[in-house]
Amino acid sequence: MQVKGAIIKLRKQKKNMQQIATVLGVAKSTVWYILRKKESTGEVSNAKRPGRPQKTTVVDDGRIISMVKINLFTTANQVNNTLQEVGVSISKSTIKRRLHESRYRGYTARCKPLISLKNRKARLDFAKKHLKKPAQFWKNILWTDETKINLYQNDGERKVWRRRGEAPDPKHTTSSVKHSGGSVMVWACMAASGTGTLVFIDDVTQDRSSPMNSEVFRDILSVKIQVNAAKLIGRCFII
């Protein structure tokens, strides 16, 4: 009740919602809720409800939402530990309920390859440069790439809090880096007409410790490119 009273007092002093939130150390949404309730009902105290009283206050709820907004990968355990430092003891289930009430749900974060700013720019420049190329041009392209495949398990899943419809946002994804951990390296190619041969790098290098480098790549080209291009495109192709 002290915080609610302070919000009303600061509002009477012509403070805006952001200023009030900063002074009191609460979420702006908490300030908005209290002021709206005061305006519509003339009261700021909660009406008595049947059943067990809620274990968290409006300020506690604001703290929970704020922590998740700052870092969407914050776990319920981390929120719980932070709340305990300020004397608030609640269960992880309660924390999750408060987040669900604010339309946050826990999802497994999508893992995207880590792409540097330099490579992002290069890809965008390539797309703009070739934007108006005819369909026949792309039919003559043989696309190639190499990647890592984990043998037994993934690199670890992370949970992220997000609201429905927000999945495509990069802030909800984690980044992966190629060529790390216990795995096998493979190379493959494709064209508009279909996919080519899957090549295990070990079969080319005959050495499990050999990384993908220019020498290994040339070996693959000399052995596999002509065969795959002839099957997928024909004699004239672009790589």
pLDDT digits (tens, 9 = 90+) for 119-133: 889 999 999 999 999
Higher pLDDT, 86 or 208: 86
Record the pTM.
Answer: 0.44
Contact between 193 and 152 (Cβ < 8 Å): no
The answer to whether 144 and 189 are in contact (CB under 8 A) is yes
What pLDDT digit, counting tens, does each position of 21-45 carry?
Answer: 888 878 888 888 888 877 777 766 6
**57/42 Cα distance (integer angstroms):** 19
The answer to whether the CB of 68 falls within 8 A of the CB of 79 is yes
Show the domains of the chain with their CATH numbers: 2-108 (no CATH), 132-232 (3.30.420.10)
Give the burial string for 38-68 (b: 16+ CB within 10 Å, else e): eeeeeebeeeeeeeeeeebebbbbbbbbbbb
Phi, psi angle pair for 160, to nearest 5°: -130, 140
Q: Which of these, 118, 119, 72, 81, lies nearest to 99 by C-alpha position?
A: 72
